Every structure is written in structure tokens, then in C-alpha cells.
Amino acid sequence: MNHLFSLEGRTALITGGSRGLGEMIAEGFLKAGAKVYISSRKKATCDAAADRLSAFGTCISLPNDAAGAAGARSLAEQYLAAEPTLDILVNNAGAAWGEEFAVFSESGWDKVMNINLKTPFFLTQALHGALKAAATKGKPAKVINIASIDGLSINMQETYSYAASKAGLVHLTKRMAMRLIDDNIVVSGIAPGAFPSDMNRIARDNPEDVAKLIPAHRLGDSADMQGAAVFLASRAGDYVVGSMLVLDGGLTWHR
């Protein structure tokens, strides 16, 4: 069983890895034996997170604004200057925007769609060669897209571009999976529910109230996220192709 869930000898890149869900995933990968690169826009924040995470293993900061196709290519070039191959890519960086329907702005639409949907595609494309070089039939490379339960069911908050981007990422994960499995690259995803973070401030600031809405009667925590991500990244998740692991304590089907 230790071998089944081990990431020994594997290298991972996690976007948005300096905080929140990305930092949780990075910690889990490090504890499972992986060498981990984390990326985020702010250098000081990214460097500080890498320093914290280095308590669990080798963690390297790659500060970069990876938004859009050009940003994705820039981050890929930065990573490839350090490593020739990549075993695990986690497309986690994301953004949210909330405004009333009548005044919802084009800038809020474009920013969120650019980061949440466009970047995962073009970063995976830019790192396709490195993923393919690391992959074998017996040990496939992995791409894990972090979506949201808001892409699966309706959240009544007026976050129109966020919901659309995450629904798009759920479907994009399936389509990419059907193509990249030909290269021994397994694409899957996680759709988190209520985890306290800077992005989900309602869960962060009102944990008891939010927990009452969840069938499991609690928020998600670091162990939940680490377990799901290590499962998909390791040998244990090799046969999960194109699927979303819904990690929400039952909230999606309870709304």
C-alpha cells in the first residue's frame, strides 16, 4: 500500500501553490515523496510558501504570472529551464468575481475565464512534451485540474464567470483526457466544495454556519485535499481518466 500511494522520484508543478488548496496539495505531495515546484504571481509570497513547505521535502518557488496563453508559456519555459521532464501538473490557480447580473463587467468575465479555463489548457499544452517524456504505460504522467462544485451544481451567489469557467474546466478535463491518454498522460480533476481559504471567504469567516449546510456537517480540511490529490497523482489513481473527484461532504447533491 505504501508503494501504491507513493510519489517517490516524481516531480510536480502546482500553480497557485503558495496558499489555500494549492499549498495543501503541495504539502501532501511532499509528504508522499515528490519534488515539488510551486508557482504564484507574487514572488515574496511564493518564496515564503516554498520555505514553509521545505520542512516536508524539496519545494522550489517559481514565481510567475501564468495567466493566459503567454503567461502559461512563460511558466513552462521557467520550469523547463530547471527540469527536462514533468510527472505531475496541477492546474490549481484560480480567480473569482461576483457582481449583480445587471452590472456584471466584461473585465470580471475575462479575468476569471482567462485564469480558470484558458490557462490550464495552454499550460498543459506548453508542458505536453515534458509530461510525455516522463510518462510510460506502466507509470503515466498526471494532469490534475482543480475545478469546483460550482461547475457541477448551482451556487446562488452571482459569480457568473466563475461558475461558467469551472463548468468548462470539468468538460475540458474529459476532452483533454481522451487525447492525452494516447501519450500515457492521465488527466483527471478535483471539484472541491467548502474549504476555508482566501477565495472562499464565506467558509473561512463563517465556518459554523456553512457547516450546517453540508451533509457531513463540517468543512473540508487539508487532510481531505491531500488525500484526494495524492490518490490521483499516484499509482492508485492511474485508472481514473477524465473523471472529477467531488470533494464536498455531500454538498453538491444536497443543494
Active site residues: 162
Encoded amino acid at 210, one letter: V
Contact 245, 188 (CB under 8 A): yes
Contact 190, 244 (CB under 8 A): yes
Compute how many other C-beta atoms are within 10 angstroms of the C-beta atom of residue 97. 19
